[in-house]
Chain A
Amino acid sequence: MQLTVNGHQYEVHGEVGTTLAEALREELSLTGTKIACGEGHCGACTVLVDDEPVLSCITLVHAVDGARVTTIEGLRDHPMIDAFVRSDALQCGFCTPGQIVSAVALVESEPAPTTEQIRHAMAGNLCRCGAYPKIEEAIRTWQG
Chain B
Amino acid sequence: MARLIRTEKEVEGRYEEVWLVVEEDSLDQWPAGPREIVGRDAVRVDGRERATGQAVYTADLAKPGMLHTAVLRSPHPRARVARIDLAPALAMPGVHAAIGPGDIEQLTSDCSFQGEAIAAVCADSLAHARTALRAIVCEFEVLEPLLDPDEAVRQGSLLGEARERSRGDYERGLAEADVVVEAEFRTQVVLHNSMETHQAVVEWMADGVEVHISTQYIWGIRDAVAQGLALPPDKVRIVCHYMGGGFGSKNSPDDYTFIAAELAKRTNRPVKCALTRREENTAAGNRNATIQRLTVGARSDGTLTALGGEFVNAVGWDGWSSGTEGPMQMLYACPNVKTTTYGAKLNLPPMKAFRAPGFVEGTFGLEALLDELATKLDLDPLELRRRNHTEATPEGNEYSGKNLLECYRRAEPHWERRHEVRARSTETVKRGVGMASQIWYGGGGPPSYAWIRVGSDGRATVVTAMQDSGTGTKTAMAQIAAEELGIPLEHVTVTLGDSDRGPYAAISAGSSTTPSMGPAVRAAAADARGQIEDIAEQRGLKGAPVHEVVDVLEDSQILGKGARGPNPTGMQVLTFGVQVAEVAVDIETGEVWVERIAAVHDVGRVINPLGASSQIEGGIIQGIGHTLSEERLHDPATGRLLTTTLDAYKLPTIADVPEIVSELIDEPDTHLTNLGSKGLGEPPIIPTAAAIANAIRDATGADVRRLPISREEMLRALREAETRQKEKVGAPAGV
Contact = CB atoms under 8 A, between A and B. Distances in A.
A93 B470 contact: yes
A97 B51 contact: yes
A128 to B, nearest CB: 5
Interface string B261-305: 000000000000000110000000000000000000000000000
Contact of A125 (B57, B197, B621, B654): B654
Given A29-B62, A88-B43, A119 B655 contact: yes
B98 to A, nearest CB: 22
Interface stretch (B112-120, B310-318, B609-617): B609-617
A105 to B, nearest CB: 15
B53 A32 contact: yes
Indicate the member of B48, B50, B57, B243 with the most A CB atoms within 10 Å.
Answer: B50
Indicate the member of B56, B195, B470, B610 with the most A CB atoms within 10 Å.
Answer: B195
Contact of B654 (A15, A41, A71, A135): A135
A1 interface: no
Contact of A93 (B242, B277, B617, B657): B242
Given A128-B192, A129-B618, 18 more contacts: A15-B127, A34-B53, A36-B277, A41-B277, A41-B645, A81-B48, A81-B52, A85-B43, A92-B50, A92-B196, A92-B243, A92-B245, A92-B470, A122-B654, A127-B195, A127-B654, A129-B470, A134-B614
Contacts of B55: 93
A93 B50 contact: yes
A32 B654 CA distance: 22
Contacts of A94: 57, 59, 194-196, 244-245, 470
Interface string A15-37: 10110000001100111111111
7 contacts: A25-B60, A31-B60, A41-B647, A42-B646, A91-B615, A128-B651, A133-B657
A8 interface: no
B495 interface: no
Interface in B129-172: none
Interface of A: 15, 17-18, 25-26, 29-39, 41-42, 44, 71-73, 75-76, 81, 84-86, 88, 90-97, 100, 118-120, 122-136
Interface in B164-190: none
Given A84-B47, A88-B44, A133 B617 contact: yes
B39 to A, nearest CB: 16
A142 to B, nearest CB: 12
A85 B44 contact: yes
Contact of B657 (A32, A88, A120, A132): A132
Indicate the member of A29, A93, A118, A135 with the most B CB atoms within 10 Å.
Answer: A93
B469 interface: yes
Nearest to B245: A92
A129 B56 CA distance: 18
Contacts of B502: none
Nearest to A40: B647
Interface in B606-630: 610-611, 613-615, 617-622
Contacts of B22: none
Interface string B454-480: 000000000000000111100000000
Contacts of A26: 62
B654 A128 contact: no
Given A31-B56, A38-B276, A131-B618, A90 B50 contact: yes
A18 to B, nearest CB: 8
Given A41-B647, A44-B195, A91 B472 contact: yes
B54 interface: yes
Contacts of A17: 127
Given A39-B277, A94-B196, A85 B614 contact: no
A131 B245 CA distance: 12
Nearest to B469: A92
Nearest to A92: B470
A34 B59 contact: yes
A94 B51 CA distance: 9
B652 interface: yes
B660 interface: yes
Interface residues of B, number: 56
A73 B657 CA distance: 29
B218 to A, nearest CB: 16
Contacts of A123: 653-655
A132 B654 CA distance: 5
Contact of B54 (A32, A86, A133): A32
A90 B618 contact: no
Contact of A133 (B472, B615, B660): B660
A75 B57 CA distance: 19
Contact of B194 (A92, A124, A135): A92
Smallest CB-CB A-B distances: 7 pairs: A32-B53, A92-B470, A93-B50, A94-B244, A130-B621, A130-B618, A85-B47
Contacts of A127: 195, 654
Indicate the member of A29, A31, A44 with the most B CB atoms within 10 Å.
Answer: A31
A85 B620 contact: no
A136 to B, nearest CB: 7
B193 interface: yes
Given A36-B197, A39-B277, A93 B244 contact: yes
Contacts of B618: 91, 129-131
A92 B194 CA distance: 9
Contacts of B651: 126, 128
Contact of B621 (A25, A41, A72, A132): A132
Contacts of A95: 195
Nearest to B195: A94
A42 B195 contact: yes
Contacts of A81: 48, 51-52
Given A123-B654, A129-B470, A72 B622 contact: no
A91 B657 CA distance: 17
B245 A129 contact: yes
A122 B657 CA distance: 12
B245 A128 contact: yes
